[in-house]
Amino acid sequence: MPITLVIHGGAGNITPAMMTKEDEQAYTEGLQAALDAGYAVLESNGSAMDAVVAAIKELENNPLFNAGKGAVFTKKGLNEMDAAVMDGKTLGAGAIAGVRNIKNPIVLAREVMEHSGHVFLSGNGAAEFALTRGVEQAPDDYFFNKLRYDQWVEIRDSDFYQLDHKADNLKGVPNPDHKFGTVGAVACDAEGNLAAGTSTGGMTNKRFGRIGDSPVIGAGTYANNSTCAISCTGH
């Protein structure tokens, strides 16, 4: 079976006018690094799930993307992250929502799938489980990004929120500094097994406790060997 890996760094209508050549190069290099990391796993006979997690970890570690290190700020000025994985062979799935201080949320989602006996954990429960599994933590300042912070400050006193894939700012003017976005990957390994994963910081200025589509199995993330593997982003 031919090995395959597909990734995304968020949806949206991104035109050349919205970023500089330097920005375009940085995004391209970030996406390529994720592809390289995941594809190397597949080339080494690794599983589709291993490849998906490897690719998404690269994107989570890159502050250009709204996941992990680049997660946006909530209405309370915090970074709360969601992630999910699904194994197309076993139909096993794992998801987490509203987690803080987890360096790679996609790793925790996989731990939920493989070791929790559950499918979806959120908030403090997910945090406690992460500690029992030794999932790598990171301090608040690891997630601080001035551009993300400034985007939040612009709207924090309003009831507005900003979708990570929205191409316009709140005034309807294209924002060349806007960062995209929720990240995801799907893969097919040499044995024909599929896997999918998605990771996000959600929406800028989102309310406490908000859970989006990304970590919801069957909405933002899905994999089934008999059909397809999907990672997407929406509302």
Residues designated catalytic: 182
**Alpha carbon distance 42, 166 (integer Å):** 33
- The pair of structure tokens assigned to 113 is 């799938």
Across 112-213, where does the E strand assignment appear? 120-122, 183-188, 194-200
- Beta-carbon contacts of 38 under 8 Å, excluding residues fewer than 6 positions away, are 5, 7, 51, 52, 54, 55, 58, 185, 187
**Residue 175 identity:** N
CB 194 within 8 A of CB 88: yes
